[in-house]
Structure 1
Amino acid sequence: MARTAIGCEAVVGSLTPSKKREYRFTNRLQEGKRPLYAVVFNFMDYRYFNVFATVGGNRVTVYQCLEGGVITVLQSYVDEDKDESFYTVTWACNIDGSPFLVAGGINGIIRVIDASAERVHRSFVGHGDSINEIRSQPLKASLVVSASKDESIRLWNVHSGICILIFAGAGGHRNEVLSVDFHPSDIYRVASCGMDNTVKIWSMKEFWTYVEKSFTWSDIPSKFPTKYVQFPIFIASVHSNYVDCNRWLGDFILSKSVDNEIVLWEPKMKEQCPGEGTADILQKYPVPECDIWFIKFSCDFHYNSAAIGNREGKIYVWELQTSPPVLTAKLSHPQSKSPIRQTAMSFDGSTILSCCEDGTIWRWDAVATET
C-alpha cells in the first residue's frame, strides 16, 4: 500500500459562520487501480471505533486511523474468485462479540469474515444477482440485511448462517434494490430503496419468532423455514429517479436520488391501510454535481452530521440537527477529481474518509477551534 503526502490545504466553506467546522486534509492512500465502492467505520465495538474497512475488486482491507492523519493497514482479505467485485461491506459481531466483516458484490455471494481469526467464517449463497448494500442491525449485531439486484432484500444471521427472511414478492421492489437500513430503535423495521424510484418500509414484527429461532437452530442452515415478507407497510415515491441511498434519522428518513440533493422526510402511515400513506418532505440538502447513481452518504454515530461526495471528488458536510439546513463544510482538493462512491464519518464526526472511483482513500480531520 503506497501512502503519499500531498502538501495542499483543504478548501472549506460554510453557509452559517457560527456552525462552520473546519476540516484539514491529512492523508491520501492509493489502494489499487480498481474502483473502491465502500468505506465504513466499525461502530459495533467501542474498542475499534478508529478501525475502518474498504472494498474494491475482490479485496477487503482493514485499516486503523491513528493520530496525525496516519492510516495503517491491519489486514487484507483477497477473495478466491478473481472475478469478484465487492460493492459493499459492513461490520457485525458474532454472539461472543468477536468482530465480523460482511461483504458482497457482483457475484451475489456474501462473505462473512472473522476479523479476529483472519479467515472466512461463512459464505451465504441465496441472492440471484449482485449485492448492492449490506447493513448491520445496531441492536442485534449478529443480524445483517442485504439489498440485491435480484429485487429482493434478505435478513441473515451471521452466527448461524441462516437466511431468516426474504423481503420480496407481490409488494416488493420492481428493479434493483440499491440501499437498505435498519431502524435505529425499532428493531422490527427496515427501509429499502432502489431503481424503481421508491422507498419501502418493512416490518418483521409478525415474523420475529423466526428471527429468535435462528439463534438456536441446530440443524443445517438450508433446512431453516425461511419466510417471505411480501408486503411493505409503507411505500413512498419521494424521488422521480433511482434512489441509491437511504438511512433512518430517528423515525424520519434521509434518502438520496440522482437529483443533486438528499431529502429528509417523514413517513405518515395509515395504520388501517398497510402500504398506504403520505411522505411529508421536511427539508433538502443540496449536493452539486451529484447526478450519477451509486454515491452513498454517511453519518456520525449520533447522526449530528452527514457527509456525501460527488462525481467531482468534493465532499459536502451537512448539519442534520438544524432547521433550516446548515452546510458545515465543503471539502475539496486539487488532486481529488474522481467520483466519490462513499464516505465514512468517525464516531464523533471528527474524521471523514472517502473512497473513490480511482482506487484512492482520502482522510480529512476536524481542526480544533477556539471556543
Structure 2
Amino acid sequence: MKLKQITACLVAATFFGSNPAFAQTSKVSGDVIKIGVLTDLSSIYSDLAGPGAVIAAKMAIADFSKDGTVIGKKIELLSADHQNKADIAANKAREWYDKDGVDVIVELVSTNVALAVMEVAEQKNKITLVSGAASLPITNEKCTANNVHWTYDTYALSNGTAKAVVKQGKKNWYFLSADYAFGAALERDATNVINANGGKVLGTSKHPFPNSDFSSYLLKAQASGADVVALANAGQDTINSVKQASEFGINKKQTVVPLLMFISDVHSLGLSAAQGMFLTEGFYWDKDDKTRAFAKRFILQHKRMPTSVQAGVYSSVLAYLAAVQKAGTDDTQAVMKVLKSTNIDDGLFKGKIRADGKFEHDMYLLEVKKPSESTSPWDYYNVKAVIPAAEATQPLSLSRCKLVTNK
C-alpha cells in the first residue's frame, strides 16, 4: 500500500470514526482554512527547511484531501522567507494573521524566529507548529497554549548524541556555539548531559550567526586538548565548521561532534568527510517502508531526500487538518484541544502532544556510514539506537512551562 493510501486510512480511522462534527455545518473564519509556511527560503537554513518545507506542506494537503478542502472549506497555502530575522518574521506573522486570515503558521526554523512568531500568535489567538527550531525554552519558560514543538529539541539532541559520545570514553569537551538562543540552549543542555555522565567541559567559543570563518575558534578548541570539539550550531555553519576542522587536521586527534546535523548537511559534506559522525534525528527516510514511500514521492518534487524538519512540516500540517476536521471548526482552542488529546501516527512520526506543547515521539541515534558501506544514493546512516520518546523528552516534572501543573 502506498503512503498516500496509508495516510488516508490513518486519518480516517483516527479522526473521523466517532466524530459527530464531521457531518455538521462547520464554523470557519473567512470561510477558508489558511496555512502559512514561514521559513528560510534563501539563507543558511534553506537547505534543511526552505523550499522543501513548502513542498512537504503541499504534499500533506494533497494527501489529506483530494479536492483540497476540509469540512467543506478550501485549504490555501501561503509561504514567505523570514531571512532568519525575528522582526521580519513577526511582521509577516501579524500581516498573515490580521490581513490574510491565516489560521496556523508552520515550520519556523531558528529559535529567534520561532519565539517571535509564537508571541504574535499568542497575542492574536492563533496557532504555531514549530518544526525547524530546536531550543528547549520553546516548551519551557517561553511556552504558549497555542504552540506545538514538533520535530526535535536540544534536550533530545543532547540525550542522543552527547550521551553516546561520552559513553565512548570521550570525556573532555570544547564547544563552538552559535551566538544566539539556539546555540546557548544546545550548549547548556549538552553540558548537563556531559556532566551527568562523568564528562567535563574545558571551554567554549561563541561565534557570530551566521559565520564563514571558524579558524580562530577551531584553533582555540585544538589548543584546549579536549577529546571532543562539539559544534552547537546548524546548517551551513555546521558544514563550514566540519570542513575547516578537517583542513586544520583537528579531526585526526580530536573528535568533531556536530550536535545538530541533517541529511542535507551530510550530502553537502560527502561521506568521506562526514563518516563516523554521530547525530540524533527524529526522522530518517530509509527507516522503513512508510518513510521510504514518502521520501520517494518527495524527491521527485524536490530532487533531494527530506530532512527531519521537512518531514515534520508534513506531519504537523496533516495533523492540523485532521484536528480541524474533527473539531468541525478552525477555532484555535477547539483545534488545540483535539491536537493535545489525539494520538498521532502518520507513518513518519508516532506519539502524542503533551501539556507543554511538546510532540513526544521516538528519536534515532544515527552514525554516518563509510563510503564503502553506502549502497545507493542517499544511503547515509546506520541506525545505532532508537531513543524512546520518554527518554528523548524532558520530563514534565522538570518543566518550567506555565501550562504544566503537576510540578
TM-score (norm 1): 0.29
Question: Going by fraction, where is helix more abundant, 1 or 2?
Answer: 2
Larger radius of gyration: 2
TM-score (norm 2): 0.27
Question: Going by fraction, where is strand more abundant, 1 or 2?
Answer: 1
* Greater relative contact order structure (CA < 8 Å, 6+ sep): 2
